[in-house]
Structure 1
Amino acid sequence: MAEGRHFATYPSLNDRTVFITGGATGIGATLVVHFYSQGCKVAFVDLDETKGQAMAAQLGADGCWFRRCDVTDAAALQAAIRDAATALGPITVLINNVANDGRQVAAEVTPEAWRETLAVNLDPTFNAATAVYPMMRDAGGGSIVNLSSINALIGHADLAAYSAAKGAINSLTKSLAHAWGADRVRVNALSPGWVVTERQLELWLTPEAEAEWQKLTALKDRLDPDDIARAALFLAADDSRMMTGQNLVVDAGRT
């Protein structure tokens, strides 16, 4: 936390059950910690069992649930959601975070690679949402936050399939918000800019690339996973109770 800065606590999140996809590393791990710190009961899934188990052990057995899950397996993902609800209580906050932003030369993307990219970046968002919707409806409402990306808005030469998936998430967010609004189930998208994670630093975020990025942003500080998690907390909490079908962009003011 930056020195001298103070951030919000959301009483409405206390004791709510939250389900997070891709919660063992990167932005997902930060989401898990932030929601747990708000007093939530947090369930999360990830392919990385070692890091997932370590995260669960760090937080403690009380109010934390983890399962290794391949989110491209719709039946397995929906089973994990049902089992998490049995363990922690009905899920009233869903954070669709899981993604893979691997670079691909657009002209070289095969039909198989296209399908694989959508299978991890788009399909789990719908499959998880439809699994939690009955729980939220029966509970009198809930909040779904779909992690999109500014790449859906600006495009990226080497992220054609990924950008297409994120654009679809923006449209899906609008559709589900209208479909489920009468049941007080809110559905919003959250679009990060270039967030500094270990993966980005290892693969793409060189000092030169970061300098070029900051030429395009109004705010010159780094975007950290904490910045995204705090926006997700707001969208999940009652403070945003009249927001639905929206896309909240957190990108340091990229032009």
Structure 2
Amino acid sequence: MEPETKYSDLKDLSVLITGGGSGIGAALTEGFVAQGAKVAFIDIAEDESRNLCETLQKRYARTPLFLKADLRDIDALKEAAAKAEQAHGPVMVLVNNAAWDDRHEIEAVTPEYWDNNHAINLKPQFFAVQAVVGGMKAAGRGAIVNFTSTSYMLNHHAMPAYTAAKAGIVGLTKGLAGALGPHGIRVNAIAPGWVMTERQKELWVTKEGVENTLERQCLKRTLEPEDMVGPCLFLASKAASGMTAQTMIVDGGIL
């Protein structure tokens, strides 16, 4: 996937992506590799991640660094971030992409389920920032892109714990932007619409669901993981040097 736009300032930049082994994350990993960045990504899925590394090596003669870790384990997250820094230098771009959009009924949610959901969907975003922000502060620059979702804006009925976390990411983004802006660090968010990842296709995509979504979208096509790459590259690059504390909606025009 050769990018249509080249951001020269991303070349050789140290980039860390969470959940970068499959779905939207894999597209993001490829997008930054294609820009010539030094990419490390954290994922728990070993087979998919190693296959992605092999594919990108063949396609670009560049291999991202796969760091296996469970993001619910904050010590493991910090260790992975340290390995990325050791390999590529201080992380200058952090993409908090990893998520778990599990469906659940209100009556079935236990305190343990709620905590586990937020331990994947919200908590690691903060601690990933904490793990890399020292290097960004020392450099006087940096870009953080947090992935949220349009689901909470649409009153999605089937996953209240998830939508709570995704709404929280917007608040986190704005709070971090306020705290880190004086250090030259920008913090923005991307809110995807319904993206046709393999996980979505396996679990929730139906003909009727797609038709209903396309009826509401301005763009009459499904969204693919690659549609999130351009917005993320833009927010990570100097092209967005005046943007921080913002949420960019990429949903084909439903909202």
TM-score bracket, shorter-length normalisation? over 0.9
Whether 1:21 and 2:18 are equivalent positions in the alignment is yes
Q: What residue number does 2:170 align with?
A: 170
The 5-angstrom pairing of residues 102-117 of structure 1 reads: 102-117=102-117
> Percent identity at matched positions?
43
Alpha-carbon separation, structure 1, partners of 2:152 and 2:244? 19
Q: What residue number does 2:203 align with?
A: 203
Deviations for 1:192-244, whole angstroms, at most 9, x for unmatched residues? 00001111111111111100111111111111111111110000000000100
Q: What residue number does 1:57 align with?
A: 54
Task: Answer whether contact 2:53 2:63 (CA < 8 A) is retained.
Answer: no
Alpha-carbon separation, structure 2, partners of 1:135 and 1:207? 47
Alpha-carbon separation, structure 1, partners of 2:193 and 2:176? 24
Deviations for 1:38-62, whole angstroms, at most 9, x for unmatched residues? 0000000111111112222333385
Unaligned runs of 5+ in 2: none
Alpha-carbon separation, structure 2, partners of 1:155 and 1:137? 37
Alpha-carbon separation, structure 1, partners of 2:38 and 2:167? 30
Q: How many residues align?
A: 252
Whether 1:12 and 2:9 are equivalent positions in the alignment is yes
Task: Answer whether contact 1:49 1:67 (CA < 8 A) is retained.
Answer: no
Deviations for 1:153-187, whole angstroms, at most 9, x for unmatched residues? 22211110000000000000000000000101100
DSSP-derived class of the 2:153 partner: helix
Q: TM-score if structure 1 supplies the norm length?
A: 0.95
Q: What residue number does 2:86 align with?
A: 86
Q: TM-score if structure 2 supplies the norm length?
A: 0.95
Task: Answer whether contact 1:12 1:238 (CA < 8 A) is retained.
Answer: yes
Q: What residue number does 2:119 align with?
A: 119
Deviations for 1:126-155, whole angstroms, at most 9, x for unmatched residues? 000111111111112000000000012222
Q: Could you tell me how far 1:64 is from its partner in structure 2?
A: 2.0
DSSP-derived class of the 2:145 partner: strand
Alpha carbon RMSD of aligned pairs, Å? 1.5
Whether 1:179 and 2:179 are equivalent positions in the alignment is yes
Alpha-carbon separation, structure 2, partners of 1:66 and 1:164? 30
Task: Answer whether contact 2:122 2:168 (CA < 8 A) is retained.
Answer: yes
The 5-angstrom pairing of residues 122-137 of structure 1 reads: 122-137=122-137
Q: What residue number does 1:32 align with?
A: 29
Alpha-carbon separation, structure 2, partners of 1:233 and 1:13? 8
DSSP-derived class of the 1:252 partner: coil
